[in-house]
Structure 1
């Protein structure tokens, strides 16, 4: 399956004392590195957020405007960056992945398997979104139709605007199918208690 990848690595990390989530460590790798690994195979990849430091060759970076405008604005910025880099070569599907899920690769694998199972004649949905076994949806782990995403961004921009808008409000404009992923695959790090429970630590600790 051809796809491009958009990794969200912004946010203020206010409940982590401002420590960037992307630079936290799990099993010896940063959460950003793990997100990049989970998106392996993408035709193009963009990291949206503050300066991520050195990235693998070919990986793009950009920032939402204004800074810290929220995930909907970050998705719009990432889509624009991918369009600029790929133009007519843009993949028909875009993986959206938050960088604060240390086991995201498991979710991505389950989502790709679900899409592969659809075969050459997929269902009429506009994407697949991860949902935990206990029913918690995670919109920042999903494959979405690129054209549908652009349409949703345009509608939101012409309506109430993207700044501060929720990603659920953005993706509610798409016909998305929920796919159950392995337990823990979408567990994310919002607090230090979350980090401790998931075995995530800060660098140098």
Structure 2
């Protein structure tokens, strides 16, 4: 199934003392490039954040107004591409791979047959759980129409909660894995 990718890379990195988290390097590769390599199978990739050096050709955009939070970033990113599936990833997922991204996309179809048979409807998205089992809403594949509809429901997307915005969607989740572990502090890079 074809998919587009929206990479969120516009946060303020306040827990890193203002250091640009997207450009932090782990094992010789920036966090942004790690995510871009994992999403290389996308038809279209847009990075929501300031233009930076990247390992491959992508589109760039900013949420309007800038620094409006991840829901505003999603709204801006949905303006790119037309694939029916959108893989949403934050730039701070250094252990996600192309195989994990494919699992997200495949998870939509895999669950559809079971859910439809059980009368639960079609899944709107499928996401990763981190190593502790926490659902990572910004490491997921979503049906474009469902994601766009949820964002439209909140009106102005600035400073809205991702969980509240997407709470009405029918989502499935992976088993816990390191692929869903994000980097929020310096110690997370040691993980």
TM-score category (smaller protein): 0.7 to 0.9
Distance 2:106 2:149 in 1: 26
Partner of 1:186: 180
Cross-structure match for 2:96: 104
Change (3 A) 1:113 1:27: farther
Hey, what does 1:149 align to over in structure 2? 147
Scaled by the length of structure 1, the TM-score of the pair is 0.82
The structural deviation recorded for 1:117 is 3.6
The count of residues paired between Structure 1 and Structure 2 equals 185
User: Which of 86, 99, 103 is matched with 1:94 structurally?
Assistant: 86
Q: 2:159 is matched with which residue: 157, 161, 164?
A: 164
> Alpha carbon RMSD of aligned pairs, Å?
2.1
SS of equivalent to 2:127: strand
4+ long deviations beyond 4 Å = 118-123
The C-alpha deviation readout for 1:105-156, integer Å capped at 9, x for no partner, is 1642432443454588985111101113542100010000001111111111
Q: Which runs of 5+ in 1 are unaligned?
A: 199-205
In structure 2, runs of 5+ residues without a counterpart are: 117-121
| SS of residue matched to 1:185 | helix
SS at match of 2:179: coil
Q: Check whether the contact 1:101–1:189 (CA below 8 A) recurs between aligned residues.
A: yes
> Do the aligned partners of residues 137 and 48 (structure 1) sit closer, same or farther apart at CA in structure 2, a change above 3 Å counting?
same
SS of the aligned residue for 2:86 comes to strand
